[in-house]
C-alpha cells in the first residue's frame, strides 16, 4: 500500500507532487509528506489526508522532490511516522512503499552504531543505512546500490540527498513507474500522477536501481547499466479526474458500459493464450471482489462448459496449498495484491501454467504469471472496485464464450446496452429502507449467490452497515434467527430453474418479519406481490443479468453511503491495493 511520487525538472516540484499524491490516496491516506531540495532538504509531513489539507506542503521550494501518502503498517498514523524519513544529519530523505521485513535486526545494528531513530517505521532504517554508505563515498547512487541488497521484503524507494541534483529510485516487488517528459522526469506508484504531463513511461523490473537527473534516466541492475523499454500509456488525464461526478465511485459505476464493451472486444481468439483454449480444469486464486468474480465464473464455466473450477482465497492458498494441476488463473484488478502474487509463484513452482487477469499494465502479477489478459477498465480510483469488477467478468465471460465456440459472443458484444439501462433505475425506496437497517442480508442462487456476496461487500465497505451475502437456501441454517424488521433481505430472483424456490424463500423471510427488496425481471407479476420493494431489471440473457443485478447493488450501496454521509471513495481503514499479507 502507500503511494509515492517524485519529480525532477524545471518546475517547482512540490505542487506537482502534492497533486500527484492526491491521485494516489486510494493506496492509503492516513498521513502524507513531501521533501524537496532547496540548498538543504525542506521537509513537511502531517497526519491526515493531503486532499483535506490546506497545508504548507505545497509551498516547499525546489525543483527536485519526493512525496508519500501512507497506509500505516509499522507505527500509528502521526506526523512523526509519516514519510519522508531522514538520516541523523537531515542530508538524506527517503519515501517507501512496501515492507522492510528485516528492519528490526537492521535497526538494532544501526542503533548500536549510534544512529538515532525518530519514528516507529520500518522505512527509517533505509535512510540510516544510506547515511552510512553515503558517508564513505558521497555518491547517492552507489550508496543506494550498496543498501538495497541488505533489505528483505518489498520496496519502491525514492531517495534524495541535499547536495545531489538527482533522485535515486529502487524497486523490488512494489510498483514503480517512471514518467519521461521533456526535460523533466517523474516517478510514481502508478501512472495517475504522471499522465497529465506525459504518456511516455518506463516500468522498472524487480531489483532495478535508477538515477533521475534533469537530463537523463540511467537504470542499473545488479550494478550493470541496462535499458528498459519506453511504453506509451493510452490513458488520458481526464480518466483520472471526477469529470463532474460527486465521487469517483459514481463516475466509475457510470463508466461500466464502456469498460465492459472495451474489455469484451479486447479478448479474442488471437489474444487468448493456448493454455486457456486447452484448459481441462481451472484453479482461480484471488482476494476480495476479485474472488467474488472468480466464484461467479466458477458457476458459469462449470455449468456451461463442464470444466471443473477450483476457487481459492490467495491468502489461504499460500499456507494450505491444495493439490493443483492444469491452468491457474490469478485475478487482481490492481495486479499488486501480495497474497495473489505469492500464490501464482507457488502455482508456477508446481509446474502449473499461470494466467493473470489484471487492469494494470506491467503490474507485478503480469510480470509473475506466464501470460496475462488485461482488462480495459481504465484507471479506477475509488477504493471500492466497480468497473474493474465488471471488466474482470467481461474477460472471464469471453473465455467462457470461446470455450463454447463463440456461443455468447453476440450477447456479450451488446451487453453494455442493458448495463446502460440499469444506471437510471430509481432506488430511493430501497435506500430509505437500507439507511435505517441494523444489518442487511443479500441472497441469491447459482451465480446470483456470488452477486449477493459482492453486493454485500460493497454495502459494508462504503456504508459501514453490516451486510452478509448468503446462498438463499442457507439463510434458514442460522441467520434466520437474526431476521427482524430492522434486518432487510435483498433477494435476487431471476427467471429460471431456481425462481420457484426463491419465491418460497422470500415468503419464509417475510413470515419472520424481515422486509424484502426483490431484484427481478421487468414484467414479473409475482415479485411485486411478495416483496416490499421490487426492483425490475431489463429482460436480457442470464449472463447479462449477472451484470445488471450487480450494478444495481453497487448503486444501492453508493446511494446508501451518500445518504449516511460516508466517505465513499476513501472508506475508513481500507486501501485499494493490498500489498501486505
Per CB under 6 A, residues contacting ligand G6P are 287-290, 332-334, 337, 340, 383, 385, 574, 576, 578
Residue 576 is among the residues annotated as catalytic for this protein = yes
**In the complex, what is the shortest distance from the CB of residue 240 to ligand G6P, in angstroms, rounded to a whole number?**
17
**In the complex, what is the shortest distance from the CB of residue 26 to ligand G6P, in angstroms, rounded to a whole number?**
9
Q: Which of 23, 387, 570, 576 is catalytic?
A: 576
Please, which residue, 192 or 340, has the CB nearer to ligand G6P? Answer: 340
Please, which residue, 332 or 545, has the CB nearer to ligand G6P? Answer: 332
Residue 453: what are its φ and ψ, rounded to 5°?
-60, -45
**In the complex, what is the shortest distance from the CB of residue 358 to ligand G6P, in angstroms, rounded to a whole number?**
8
Q: Kindly report whether the peptide bond that precedes residue 478 is cis, defined as omega within 30 degrees of 0.
A: no
Please, which residue, 7 or 558, has the CB nearer to ligand G6P? Answer: 558
SS3 content of the chain, % helix, strand, coil (to 5): 40, 25, 40
List CB contacts of 268: < 8 A, sequence separation 6 or more. none
Q: Which of 2, 352, 434, 493 is catalytic?
A: 2
Q: How far apart are CA 569 and CA 383, in angstroms?
A: 6
Number of H helices, E strands in the chain: 19, 25
Residue 383 · residue 461 · CB < 8 Å: yes
Please, which residue, 81 or 340, has the CB nearer to ligand G6P? Answer: 340
Q: How far apart are CA 235 and CA 199, in angstroms?
A: 8
Please, which residue, 353 or 364, has the CB nearer to ligand G6P? Answer: 364
Residue 125 · residue 101 · CB < 8 Å: no
What residues does 125 pair with on adjacent strands? none
The sign of the dihedral angle between the CA atoms of 12, 16, 17, 19 is positive
Please, which residue, 337 or 554, has the CB nearer to ligand G6P? Answer: 337
Q: How far apart are CA 565 and CA 347, in angstroms?
A: 43
Please, which residue, 337 or 505, has the CB nearer to ligand G6P? Answer: 337
Alpha carbon 334 to chain centroid, angstroms? 4
**In the complex, what is the shortest distance from the CB of residue 174 to ligand G6P, in angstroms, rounded to a whole number?**
14
Please, which residue, 36 or 289, has the CB nearer to ligand G6P? Answer: 289
**In the complex, what is the shortest distance from the CB of residue 188 to ligand G6P, in angstroms, rounded to a whole number?**
18
**In the complex, what is the shortest distance from the CB of residue 293 to ligand G6P, in angstroms, rounded to a whole number?**
8
Pairing of strands 153-161, 92-100: antiparallel
**In the complex, what is the shortest distance from the CB of residue 254 to ligand G6P, in angstroms, rounded to a whole number?**
18
Residue 298 is among the residues annotated as catalytic for this protein = no
Mind spelling out the 3-state secondary structure of 374-440? ECCCCCCCCCCCCHHHHHHHHHHHHHHHHHCCCCCHHHHHCHHHHHHHHCCCCCHHHHHHHHCCCEE
Conformational region of residue 350, where left means phi above 0, alpha means psi within -120 to 50, and beta covers everything else? alpha
State which residue has the least CB distance to ligand G6P. Answer: 288
**In the complex, what is the shortest distance from the CB of residue 385 to ligand G6P, in angstroms, rounded to a whole number?**
4
- Angle (CA) 444-448-449 rounded to 5° is 60
What residues does 70 pair with on adjacent strands? 31
Tell me how far CA of residue 382 lies from CA of 53, 92, 574, in angstroms.
19, 33, 11
Q: How far apart are CA 501 and CA 505, in angstroms?
A: 6
Q: How far apart are CA 71 and CA 145, in angstroms?
A: 26
Please name which of 300, 500, 519 lies closest in space to residue 402, comparing C-alpha atoms.
300
Please, which residue, 166 or 376, has the CB nearer to ligand G6P? Answer: 376
Residue 412 · residue 460 · CB < 8 Å: no
**In the complex, what is the shortest distance from the CB of residue 289 to ligand G6P, in angstroms, rounded to a whole number?**
3
Catalytic residues: 2, 576
Amino acid at each position: 500500500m502507500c503511494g509515492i511520487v517524485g519529480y525532477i525538472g524545471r518546475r517547482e516540484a512540490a505542487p506537482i507532487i502534492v497533486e500527484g499524491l492526491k491521485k494516489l490516496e486510494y493506496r492509503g491516506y492516513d498521513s502524507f509528506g513531501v521533501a524537496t531540495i532547496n540548498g538543504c532538504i525542506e521537509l513537511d509531513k502531517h497526519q491526515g489526508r493531503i486532499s483535506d489539507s490546506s497545508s504548507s506542503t505545497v509551498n516547499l521550494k525546489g525543483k527536485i522532490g519526493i512525496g508519500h501518502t501512507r497506509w500505516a503498517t509499522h507505527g500509528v498514523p502521526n506526523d512523526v511516522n509519516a514519510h519522508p524519513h531522514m538520516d541523523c544529519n537531515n542530508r538524506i530523505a527517503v519515501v517507501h512503499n512496501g515492507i522492510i521485513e528485516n528492519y528490526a535486526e537492521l535497526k538494532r545494528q544501526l542503533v548500536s552504531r549510534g544512529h538515532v531513530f525518530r519514528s516507529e517505521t520500518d522505512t527509517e532504517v533505509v535512510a540510516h543505512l544510506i547515511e552510512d554508505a553515503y558517508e564513505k563515498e558521497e555518491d547517492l547512487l552507489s550508496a543506494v546500490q550498496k543498501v538495497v541488497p541488505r533489505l528483505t521484503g518489498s520496496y519502491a524507494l525514492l531517495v534524495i540527498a541535499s547536495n545531489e541534483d538527482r533522485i535515486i529510485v529502487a524497486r523490488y516487488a512494489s510498483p514503480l513507474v517512471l514518467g519521461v517528459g521533456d526535460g523533466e522526469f517523474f516517478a510514481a506508484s502508478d501512472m495517475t500522477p504522471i499522465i497529465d504531463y506525459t504518456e511516455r513511461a518506463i516500468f522498472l523490473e524487480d531489483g532495478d536501481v535508477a538515477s533521475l537527473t534533469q537530463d537523463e534516466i540511467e537504470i542499473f541492475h545488479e550494478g550493470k547499466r541496462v535499458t528498459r523499454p519506453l511504453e506509451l500509456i493510452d490513458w488520458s488525464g481526464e480518466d483520472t479526474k471526477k469529470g463532474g461526478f460527486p465521487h469517483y465511485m459514481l463516475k466509475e459505476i457510470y463508466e461500466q458500459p464502456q469498460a465492459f464493451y472495451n474489455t469484451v472486444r479486447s479478448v479474442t481468439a488471437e489474444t487468448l493464450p493456448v493454455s486457456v483454449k486447452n484448459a481441462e480444469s481451472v484453479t482461480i486464486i484471488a482476494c476480495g471482489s476479485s474472488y467474488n468474480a472468480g466464484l461467479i465464473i466458477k458457476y458459469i464455466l462449470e455449468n456451461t462448459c463442464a470444466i471443473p473450477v477450483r476457487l481459492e482465497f490467495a491468502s489461504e492458498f499460500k499456507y494450505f496449498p491444495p493439490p493443483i494441476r492444469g491452468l491457474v488463473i490469478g485475478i487482481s484488478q490492481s495486479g499488486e495484491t501480495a497474497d495473489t502474487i505469492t500464490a501464482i509463484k507457488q502455482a508456477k513452482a508446481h509446474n502449473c501454467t499461470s494466467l493473470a487477469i489484471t487492469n494494470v499494465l506491467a503490474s507485478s502479477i503480469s510480470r509473475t504469471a506466464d501470460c496475462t489478459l488485461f482488462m480495459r477498465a481504465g484507471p479506477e480510483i475509488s477504493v471500492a472496485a466497480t468497473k474493474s469488477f465488471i471488466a474482470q467478468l467481461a474477460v472471464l465471460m469471453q473465455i467462457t464464450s470461446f470455450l463454447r465456440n463463440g456461443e455468447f459472443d453476440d450477447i456479450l458484444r451488446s451487453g453494455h446496452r442493458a448495463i446502460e439501462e440499469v444506471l437510471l433505475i430509481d432506488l430511493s425506496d430501497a435506500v430509505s429502507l437500507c439507511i435505517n437497517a441494523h444489518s442487511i442480508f443479500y441472497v441469491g442462487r447459482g451465480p446470483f449467490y456470488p452477486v449477493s456476496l459482492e453486493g454485500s461487500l460493497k454495502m459494508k465497505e462504503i456504508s459501514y452497515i453490516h451486510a452478509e451475502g448468503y446462498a438463499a437456501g442457507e439463510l434458514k441454517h442460522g441467520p434466520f434467527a437474526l431476521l427482524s424488521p430492522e434486518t432487510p433481505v435483498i433477494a435476487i430472483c431471476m427467471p429460471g430453474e431456481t425462481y420457484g424456490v426463491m419465491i418460497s424463500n422470500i415468503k419464509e423471510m417475510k413470515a419472520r418479519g424481515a422486509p424484502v427488496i426483490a431484484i427481478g425481471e421487468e414484467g414479473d407479476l409475482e415479485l411485486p406481490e411478495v416483496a416490499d420493494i421490487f426492483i425490475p431489471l431489463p429482460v436480457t440473457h442470464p449472463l447479462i443479468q449477472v451484470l445488471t443485478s450487480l450494478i444495481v447493488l453497487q448503486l444501492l450501496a453508493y446511494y446508501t453511503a451518500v445518504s449516511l454521509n460516508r466517505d465513499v471513495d476513501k472508506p475508513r481503514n481500507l486501501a485499494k491495493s493490498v500489498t501486505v499479507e
